[in-house]
Amino acid sequence: MRLLIDMDDVLADTGAKILDVFNQRNGLQLEKSFFEDKHFYEYIKGHNSYRDALYEPGFFRDIKVFPDAIDVVKELNEKFEVYIVSAATEFPLSLTEKMEWLDEHFPFISWRNRVFCGDKSIVHGDIMIDDHARNFENFSGRKILFHSMHNTQVQGYERVKSWREIRDLIGCAGKE
């Protein structure tokens, strides 16, 4: 069974770093929970943007790992064919930083099982865990939406809020 796992806002808490930059540039102190009943992208219109920070050297290198992600992915990697799939080519400087980040936090995921692309419709698998529903449009397998401040209003997908939930959903399943 092939399991496809996104990086940003699934393994890496990129949203927290984006929110830090957004808060700093706008003199705010918002927390992720602020967006539980708001559409993130609609709210940020009219504010100073964070987007240019995504193109700066170092942005992707020091993002925190979500709690339990390392242990659960390690367990899943022993049971499934795991691929880390990131639409990293939008931010060219992120490619090296994401490889280094994976080497540091997920060294048990081979470089052969890391896919950096622009459009995830090129990948195929049995399960995809992602924070952007757009990546599910052409995916025929099981779709699991990882909860993030930018997708709180998205409905129609199986949703998880933590790596413990992922372990409970698919971690106990055997290799097929």
- Annotated catalytic residues are 6, 8
Helix (H) or strand (E) holding 104: helix 94-105
**Beta sheet of 114-116, edge-to-edge order:** 114-116, 81-86, 2-5, 127-130, 142-146, 158-160
How far is residue 41 from each of residues 17, 22, 112, 139, measured CA to CA in Å? 16, 12, 34, 24
Burial class for 57, CB neighbours closer than 10 Å (0-12, 13-18, 19+): exposed
